[in-house]
Amino acid sequence: MCLFVLRGESGLMPAATTVVTSTDTSTPLVTARRRGVDWRVKFAALSLIWGFSFLFMKVGNRGFAPLQVTLGRLVAGTAVLLVALAVKRQPLPRGMGLWVRLAVAGFLLNALPFALFAYSEERIPSQLAGICNATSPLWGMALSVVALTEDRPTRRRVAGLGLGFLGVLTVLGAWQGFRGVDPLGAAMALAASLSYPVGWIWVRRTLAGRTESHLTLTSGQLLLAAAQLAVVTGFGTHLPGSFELAPTLSVLALGVLGTGLAFLLQYGLVAEVGPTTAQTVTYLTPLVATVAGVTVLGEALHWNTLVGAVIVLLGAALVQRGS
């Protein structure tokens, strides 16, 4: 659940993380403003969808193995994009070289982080997974300094990085020896958040500037991610004995809404108001995840979780606005 928009510099956000090229973000601007749903409605819908995605994963885990939750999510999300591709009469990607690069992107931006988040939520509350997801901009800033020599840190971004990771330690209760937090679950959620910027760096190096549409590239990316999960899930899990209603609906919602529809909303939003405004969804997603976890799932809310989440978001804001 992270959006990476190439605009010379990266705009970072989380849901169906997708390949974005540097083209065709300006021409839809006028059309989007003349027709369709107001951008504020899209913004609110995207915040709710991405925030509730962590709840959907938690409920899905009650009836299915984490790999099955992830596979169902990717299959349903891919189906939505393929329908959109057919409606718009756009082709799938072409060329073996492009498919190979999309396979790597699909693994780093979809298959791996989605699976890690699903596994993490067997051990930690959904609200904590949502907060860990918000650390992606922090990881992205740290990695870009190492991997992208043209991307130099500013004092504000370094301060944001330090502040953000201080927030992570606060959320995890470092001063009390991380008591009450499953370390493996938290590590998996943080690793999932780290996978997004690693994938973004791959995209920036290998796919930026291509002429194919966002929808074409992302449909191919999700299709390959689903294929990867199908192989792993086939060997690593058994067929579920039953399909309970709540877990099944949660997995479908996670795929149709949190992956497929979220992609269509996010790029409509970027085209209409630009990546700078669109990326502020980052700050609402963990808040929605926390409210959903506490009110719907009955998860406990500790003071350090709330304070740490605010610190993480402040750090992410400094990193994103300090470039």
Give me the DSSP letters along 130-182: HHHHTTHHHHHHHHHHHH-TT-PPPHHHHHHHHHHHHHHHHHHTGGGTTTTS-
Q: Please tell me the predicted confidence (pLDDT) of residue 19.
A: 45
For residue 136, with 0-12 CB atoms within 10 Å meaning exposed, 13-18 middle and 19 or more buried, which class applies? buried
Q: Please tell me the predicted confidence (pLDDT) of residue 231.
A: 96
Beta bridge pairs of residue 10: 6
Question: In this structure, which amino acid lies at residue 295?
Answer: T
Q: Residue 185 pLDDT more than 50? A: yes
Residue predicted with more confidence, 172 or 297? 297
Q: Please tell me the predicted confidence (pLDDT) of residue 26.
A: 33
pLDDT in tens, 255-280: 999 999 999 998 888 888 877 777 77
Q: How many CB atoms lie within 10 A of CB 86?
A: 10
* 14 close to 50: Cβ distance less than 8 angstroms: yes
Task: Quote the domain boundaries for residue 187.
Answer: 3-321
Q: Residue 248 pLDDT more than 80? A: yes
Residue 84, token pair as written in the block: 């959109």
311-39-130 Cα angle (round to 5) = 30
Q: Please tell me the predicted confidence (pLDDT) of residue 36.
A: 66
Nearest alpha-carbon partner for 6 in 162, 222, 145, 151: 151
Percentage of the chain beyond pLDDT 70 is: 85
Minimum mean pLDDT range among 62-71, 191-200, 306-315: 306-315
Most confidently predicted of 28-32, 182-186, 254-258: 254-258
Q: Please tell me the predicted confidence (pLDDT) of residue 177.
A: 66
pLDDT in tens, 73-131: 999 999 999 999 999 999 999 999 999 999 999 999 999 999 999 999 999 999 999 99
* 258 close to 57: Cβ distance less than 8 angstroms: no
Sign, CA torsion 127/130/132/137: negative
- Measured CA to CA, the distance from residue 213 to residue 227 in angstroms comes to 22
- Measured CA to CA, the distance from residue 125 to residue 181 in angstroms comes to 9
Q: Please tell me the predicted confidence (pLDDT) of residue 152.
A: 67
**Tally of domains in the chain:** 1
Residue 168, token pair as written in the block: 């992570």
Q: Please tell me the predicted confidence (pLDDT) of residue 12.
A: 31
- Measured CA to CA, the distance from residue 133 to residue 129 in angstroms comes to 6
- Please name the residues in contact with 247: beta carbons below 8 A apart, sequence gap of 6 or more: 59, 60, 61, 62, 63, 64
Q: Residue 18 pLDDT more than 50? A: no
Residue 218, token pair as written in the block: 């992302």
Question: What HEC string does 48-102 produce?
Answer: HHHHHHHHHHHHHCCCCCHHHHHHHHHHHHHHHHHHHHHHHCCCCCCCHHHHHHH
pLDDT in tens, 138-182: 888 888 777 765 566 788 878 888 888 898 888 888 777 667 789
Q: Residue 285 pLDDT more than 60? A: yes
Average pLDDT, the chain: 85
Q: Please tell me the predicted confidence (pLDDT) of residue 178.
A: 66
- Measured CA to CA, the distance from residue 186 to residue 207 in angstroms comes to 31
Residue 301, token pair as written in the block: 């809310």
Sign, CA torsion 275/151/212/94: negative
Q: Element (H or E) spanning 5, and its range?
A: strand 3-6
* 1 close to 135: Cβ distance less than 8 angstroms: no
Q: Please tell me the predicted confidence (pLDDT) of residue 323.
A: 56
Q: Please tell me the predicted confidence (pLDDT) of residue 110.
A: 98
Nearest alpha-carbon partner for 134 in 187, 81, 193: 193
